[in-house]
Structure 1
């Protein structure tokens, strides 16, 4: 697994020149996952999109578990280069960039959970986040925990705002807002506080993303000020 993720496949010294590459296989799998969801990815489906047989794919990757790890790291890509930003703006833009990645490839929310081997791109994201807090006065553990909290918030908002391929509810955000508004219009007496809050809100998931980020960063700013003051 480590060799596959880090592009350290053993060199082939015999046999014909490979017809495809591991990257080509992962790109085909990403296209399927983007269109139909992670569950739709299979060796049979991939073989149908590439000039090889299903069995030939196993010469490049042992199975779906390993393939998902490779395609996840490839889909994430490296973090955008945003140099010379103050720590707070660096973390904010880092979080927005991460959110954009999750919404481009919603299946990443499923494939990047739990304890697993990490690839170079995912570690590059972690490196960029921790780098923003270098010199902040926070310990290494606190820097990592800060990144974990921000990532968890980003993932939660992305989960709520994303329609997963193959699992659509058929509702857009506008549909959902309108439907809830219609219910509360007739049930205001049953849900008075929620009704009042909805009447004075014009929010969206993106506003929730920014609001939560600002509160997390406010807390970090207080902690950093305490450590450096």
Structure 2
């Protein structure tokens, strides 16, 4: 794996044929495969074949699969969103955009863990989140805050939830036949039925994280 792949300056060749592909084209081909079949289906040979080239020809652009997956991740997530307003709204917007990116490309969660070449887009997401945090936090706390928020995002983006109809059917069985076994579940369902309410654990959890951060910062003023 080449750790500085995205950062090293690449000299333009003065001889030989003009490059027929771009890194973005190669990344897009890899993304199409991963979206349809998962990250395990991505290989240098498969991507080259889908582009109509030989495997060896891709090595002109990429040292190997680690850099290919890194390029795919950079391309799939894209630049972080522009943020305006207060820090709570800004961090909420950032987290929601990251959640949407991971949700659109389920393989991106796997691609963004472990040893890998880290590119400017991934660093730009970190930079954008750090830049909106309120004053009063140490450097370590600022990184920990982003790690906590991004961990919340990753947890919900990685959840595999069955069809909503299956869950509704299961809850109906609980209410009808097993109320005495699951009284807390039944009580919550009855309350929702009587008073309504949203079922959005992602937004609820993110809000509580930001509440805690707000309390911490206020204590230091």
Q: Structure 1 length normalisation: TM-score? A: 0.86
Q: After superposition, where does 1:1-229 map in structure 2 within 5 Å?
A: 1-6=2-7, 8-83=9-84, 85-134=85-134, 136-160=135-159, 171-172=162-163, 174-184=164-174, 185-201=176-192, 204=199, 207-228=200-221
**CA offset digits 1:131-157 (Å, max 9, x no partner):** 1115x1111111110111000011101
Q: Distance in 1 between matches of 2:114 and 2:49?
A: 31
TM-aligned CA deviation for residue 75 of structure 1: 1.1
TM-aligned CA deviation for residue 15 of structure 1: 1.5
Question: What secondary structure is seen at the aligned counterpart in 2 of 1:11?
Answer: coil
Change (3 A) 1:33 1:146: same
C-alpha root-mean-square deviation of aligned residues, in Å?
Answer: 2.0
2:66–2:117 contact (8 Å) kept in structure 1: no
1:19–1:52 contact (8 Å) kept in structure 2: no
1:3–1:9 contact (8 Å) kept in structure 2: no
**CA offset digits 1:9-62 (Å, max 9, x no partner):** 332232111221222111110111112211111223212221311221122212
Q: Distance in 1 between matches of 2:218 and 2:160?
A: 34
Gaps of 5+ in 2: none
Q: Distance in 2 between matches of 1:117 and 1:52?
A: 24
Q: Distance in 1 between matches of 2:9 and 2:28?
A: 18
Gaps of 5+ in 1: 163-170
Q: Distance in 2 between matches of 1:186 and 1:55?
A: 62
TM-aligned CA deviation for residue 191 of structure 1: 2.1
TM-aligned CA deviation for residue 178 of structure 1: 1.9
TM-aligned CA deviation for residue 3 of structure 1: 4.3
**Which 10-residue stretch deviates more, 73-82 or 149-158?**
73-82
**CA offset digits 1:76-115 (Å, max 9, x no partner):** 11111123x1111111111111111111111111111134
Q: Distance in 1 between matches of 2:37 and 2:169?
A: 27
Question: What secondary structure is seen at the aligned counterpart in 2 of 1:160?
Answer: coil
Q: Structure 2 length normalisation: TM-score? A: 0.88
TM-aligned CA deviation for residue 7 of structure 1: 6.8
Q: Distance in 1 between matches of 2:4 and 2:24?
A: 13
Q: Distance in 2 between matches of 1:10 and 1:183?
A: 66
Alignment coverage as a number of residue pairs:
215
**Which 10-residue stretch deviates more, 191-200 or 141-150?**
191-200
1:4–1:70 contact (8 Å) kept in structure 2: no
